[in-house]
């Protein structure tokens, strides 16, 4: 949870950021020969690639403390081995008498113990494949009970934490000091036994202090999205935790607010003073950021207050917190989609704005940016999207499926006619083919030059194919499809017009069972259907050139 601070590493610190996509990272710091006698004393073996930070500090209270995390690539394979990379936080000065250089003590200890933190004392509770449990037991007989202080990060490509295979939870190092005295601090870490596999220690910013009055910025439930935790307008609240030593009486503390954030516009209420009752050691000031609808850059809110420290000197406690602008989320999507019947459709969207992580739900409750479905008819797919601040977007995707492809035209034409093709439905572009050679006038018109049958094949962009057969007839003969032989003097005989132009024509008439009911080799328009009942019959006309014409004939009495 530490977003800023100092990294000391036995390798290149640029290799520290996650995700952990390798189990044996060795960046190499380029200082293989650097060692430290105190680290050698801790691990009992040679030290390589040591990184050391030293400084002096004047205590303004009765203790010094800071927060740190130890991490290493030696986890988990080399737990309980000689590759026990060492680190220590050494403090020396008045009143301190320890076993290290300048009588320093190492304050990097397992909580409530005098056991120094190392790979062999804080781990997952099991010896690695290259280790033996007895080696860990030699460092701490209770080493397996320290698993609560360890986080296993072994090959975790999905993690946004660090590259290291394991690390401790944030631990607090502390030591009692004399108020007003100067102390020497040495922070050191090194590779044990060899220079391979990096280790590092993370020291949290603003955590180094001499215990007295303190104020700490607190953010409530900020998501792990790779950014430093902060308040978010109208969404993520937080506050400041004030603490003071025990045993003090009632006290009113005057507060000063500053920073780039507006105390009157960005927040509902910020107190100018608080009262801590007798014996009270902690007080929390809640901060609720308002959504102002104004586009702004990231701002800072700082709280400070004066106090008299344990040494009797005037001092100031101060902490700052980030305030992020909130922009309502939006999504980019093509919400109207055309699809072929039954085809696989990919509906997708791209979100931006708001506060990650996002959540969303398709009709099948899937959590992918792309949703695949099929449709035979027009269909609506609903997407429900929200960000971390619960700003909800409901979007409907309309999938349009074309109507079925079909012909919309007659089937019978006369030779010489200009025929227009008509069809509906389907998806353009279309392709038309014929089983005979056609004299096209344009893409939808042609002239039927000869009698016969023409089969047209129509294919649309969805690869749907339909056919239509045209009956092109020689219309010199006008053949009726019905006549009424009822002796009323009107339409009593089957009269075929144009016989005189064609020549001798033979006809045959069949009933629905295929039985011939009339035949004439040289028809003279004289059949009155004598003896034939009314109904539907089938007429075949035999032309002089050997061709035939078939017609359906209805007789009505």
Q: Considering the chain, what is the average pLDDT of its residues?
A: 87
Whether residue 76 has a cis bond before it, omega within 30° of 0:
yes
pLDDT of residue 299: 94
Structure tokens belonging to residue 495: 């009269």
Strand residues in 153-221 grouped as ranges (E): 166-168, 171-176, 182-192, 199-204, 209-210, 214-219
pLDDT of residue 210: 66
| Residue 188 clears pLDDT 70, i.e. is over it | yes
d(CA 523, CA 540): 12
Cα angle: 191, vertex 193, 197; to 5 degrees: 45
Structure tokens belonging to residue 179: 């108020």
Number of Cβ within a 10 Å radius of residue 86: 29
The string of pLDDT tens digits covering residues 113-123 is 999 999 999 99
CA-only gyration radius of the chain, Å: 46
pLDDT of residue 182: 93
Q: How confident is the model at residue 143 (pLDDT cuts 50, 70, 90)?
A: very high
Lowest mean pLDDT: which of 71-80, 125-134, 187-196, 414-423? Answer: 187-196
Q: Which CATH class is domain 330-400?
A: mainly beta
| Residue 156 clears pLDDT 80, i.e. is over it | no
Q: What percent of the chain has pLDDT over 90?
A: 50
pTM of the full structure: 0.53
C-beta separation of 244 from 262 below 8 A: no
pLDDT of residue 410: 86
**Cβ contacts of 366 within 8 Å, gap of 6 or more:** none
Structure tokens belonging to residue 18: 């996650």
The string of pLDDT tens digits covering residues 21-75 is 665 555 554 455 678 899 888 877 778 878 899 999 988 777 888 899 999 888 8
CA torsion sign for 31, 37, 43, 44 is positive
- Please check whether the domain covering 214-324 is classified as CATH 1.10.10: no
Structure tokens belonging to residue 85: 């990379």
| Residue 323 clears pLDDT 80, i.e. is over it | yes
116 φ, ψ to 5°? Answer: -75, 140
Q: How confident is the model at residue 490 (pLDDT cuts 50, 70, 90)?
A: very high
Whether residue 436 has a cis bond before it, omega within 30° of 0:
no
| Residue 252 clears pLDDT 50, i.e. is over it | yes
pLDDT of residue 25: 54
- Mean pLDDT comparison of 146-155, 193-202, 413-422, 456-465, highest-scoring range: 456-465
pLDDT of residue 41: 86
Question: How confident is the model over 79-97, as a mean pLDDT?
Answer: 89
- Mean pLDDT comparison of 182-196, 334-348, 436-450, 506-520, highest-scoring range: 506-520
Whether residue 7 has a cis bond before it, omega within 30° of 0:
no
d(CA 528, CA 506): 16
Mind giving me the DSSP string for 207-267? --EESSSEEEEEESS---SSSPP-EETTTB-EEEEEE--TT---EEEE-EEESSS-TTTSB
Burial per residue of 96-114, b for 16 or more beta-carbon CB atoms within 10 angstroms, e otherwise:
bebebeeebbbbbbbeeee
Question: How confident is the model over 505-518, as a mean pLDDT?
Answer: 95
Cα angle: 431, vertex 428, 433; to 5 degrees: 10
Is 133 buried (19+), middle (13-18) or exposed (0-12) by CB count in 10 A?
middle
Q: How confident is the model at residue 195 (pLDDT cuts 50, 70, 90)?
A: low
| Residue 84 clears pLDDT 80, i.e. is over it | no
d(CA 169, CA 1): 9
Tokens 């781990």, located at residue: 123
- Pairing mode, if any, of strands 392-400 and 336-338? parallel
Residue ranges of alpha helices (H) inside 122-228 are 133-139
Our measurement of the distance from residue 59's CA atom to the centroid of its chain's CA atoms, rounded to an integer in Å, reads 50
Lowest mean pLDDT: which of 26-30, 273-277, 342-346? Answer: 26-30
d(CA 300, CA 321): 6
**Cβ contacts of 323 within 8 Å, gap of 6 or more:** 230, 231, 232, 233, 261, 266, 289, 298, 299, 300, 301
Q: How confident is the model at residue 276 (pLDDT cuts 50, 70, 90)?
A: very high
Cα distances (Å, whole numbers) of residue 517 to 228, 286, 334: 99, 106, 68
Question: How confident is the model over 254-261, as a mean pLDDT?
Answer: 95
Structure tokens belonging to residue 194: 């060899």
Structure tokens belonging to residue 222: 């900020």
pLDDT of residue 61: 76
Number of Cβ within a 10 Å radius of residue 396: 10
- Please check whether the domain covering 482-555 is classified as CATH 2.60.40: yes
Structure tokens belonging to residue 281: 């050691």
| Residue 505 clears pLDDT 70, i.e. is over it | yes
Cα distances (Å, whole numbers) of residue 293 to 127, 263, 321, 330, 392: 56, 16, 20, 15, 17
The string of pLDDT tens digits covering residues 295-309 is 889 999 999 999 987
Mind giving me the DSSP string for 422-446? -EE-S-SS-EEEESS--EEEETTEE
508 closest CA partner among 556, 549, 480: 549
d(CA 146, CA 121): 7
Cα distances (Å, whole numbers) of residue 414 to 448, 470, 481: 7, 10, 16
The string of pLDDT tens digits covering residues 391-449 is 999 999 999 999 999 999 988 887 878 899 999 999 999 999 999 988 898 989 998 88
pLDDT of residue 30: 47
pLDDT of residue 21: 64
CATH node for 406-473: 2.60.40.1080
Residue boundaries of the structural domains of the chain: 5-209, 214-324, 330-400, 406-473, 482-555
103 φ, ψ to 5°? Answer: 60, 30
Lowest mean pLDDT: which of 75-79, 331-335, 447-451? Answer: 447-451
Lowest mean pLDDT: which of 221-235, 294-308, 531-545? Answer: 221-235
pLDDT of residue 499: 86
Percent helix, strand and coil across the chain, each to the nearest 5: 5, 45, 50
- The SS3 assignment for 181 reads coil
Our measurement of the distance from residue 525's CA atom to the centroid of its chain's CA atoms, rounded to an integer in Å, reads 83
Tokens 């602008």, located at residue: 325
């Amino acid at each position: 949870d530490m977003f800023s601070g100092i990294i000391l590493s036995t390798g290149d610190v640029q290799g520290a950021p996650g995700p952990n996509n390798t189990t044996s990272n060795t960046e190499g710091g380029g200082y293989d020969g650097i060692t430290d006698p105190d680290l050698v004393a801790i691990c009992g073996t040679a030290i390589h690639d040591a990184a050391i930070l030293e400084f002096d500090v004047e205590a303004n209270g009765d203790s010094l403390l800071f927060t740190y995390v130890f991490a290493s690539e030696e986890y988990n394979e080399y737990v309980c081995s000689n590759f026990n990379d060492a680190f220590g936080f050494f403090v020396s000065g008045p009143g301190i008498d320890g076993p290290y250089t300048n009588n320093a003590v190492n304050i990097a200890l397992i909580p409530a113990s005098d056991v120094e933190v190392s790979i062999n004392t804080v781990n997952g509770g099991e010896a690695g494949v290259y280790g033996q449990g007895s080696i860990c037991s030699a460092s701490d007989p209770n080493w397996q009970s320290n698993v609560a202080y360890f986080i296993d990060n072994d090959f975790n490509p999905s993690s946004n934490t660090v590259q290291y295979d394991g690390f401790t939870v944030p631990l607090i190092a502390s030591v009692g000091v004399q108020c007003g005295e100067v102390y020497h601090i040495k922070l050191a870490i090194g590779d044990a036994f060899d220079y391979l596999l990096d280790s590092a220690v993370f020291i949290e910013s603003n955590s180094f202090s001499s215990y007295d009055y303190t104020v700490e910025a607190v953010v409530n439930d900020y998501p792990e999205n790779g950014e430093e935790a902060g308040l978010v307008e109208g969404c993520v609240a937080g506050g400041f935790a004030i603490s003071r030593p025990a045993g003090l009486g009632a006290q009113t503390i005057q507060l000063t607010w500053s920073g780039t954030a507006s105390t009157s516009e960005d927040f509902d209420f910020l107190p100018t003073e608080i009262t801590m009752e007798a014996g009270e050691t902690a007080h929390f000031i809640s901060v609720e950021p308002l959504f102002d609808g104004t586009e702004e850059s990231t701002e800072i809110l700082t709280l400070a207050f004066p106090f008299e420290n344990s040494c009797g000197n005037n001092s100031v406690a101060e902490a700052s917190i980030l305030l992020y602008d909130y922009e309502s989320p939006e999504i980019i999507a093509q919400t109207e989609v055309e699809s072929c019947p039954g085809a696989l459709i990919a509906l997708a969207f791209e979100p931006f704005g708001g506060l990650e992580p996002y959540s969303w739900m398709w009709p099948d409750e899937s959590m992918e940016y792309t949703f695949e479905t099929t449709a035979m008819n027009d269909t609506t797919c609903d997407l429900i999207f929200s960000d971390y601040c619960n700003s909800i977007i409901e979007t409907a995707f309309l999938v349009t499926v074309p109507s079925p492809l079909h012909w919309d035209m007659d089937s019978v034409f006369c030779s010489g006619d200009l025929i227009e093709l008509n069809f509906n439905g389907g998806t353009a572009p279309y392709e038309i083919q014929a089983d005979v050679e056609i004299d096209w006038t344009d893409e939808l018109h042609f002239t039927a030059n000869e009698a016969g049958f023409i089969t047209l094949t129509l294919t649309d962009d969805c690869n749907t194919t339909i056919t239509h057969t045209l009956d092109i007839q020689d219309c010199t003969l006008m053949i009726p499809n019905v006549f009424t032989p009822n002796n009323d003097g009107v339409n009593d005989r089957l009269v075929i017009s144009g016989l005189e132009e064609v020549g001798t024509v033979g006809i045959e008439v069949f009933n629905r069972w295929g039985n011939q009911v009339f035949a004439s080799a040289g028809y003279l328009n004289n059949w009155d259907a004598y003896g034939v009942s009314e109904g539907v019959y089938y007429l075949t006309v035999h032309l002089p050139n050997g061709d035939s014409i078939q017609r359906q004939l209805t007789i009505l009495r």
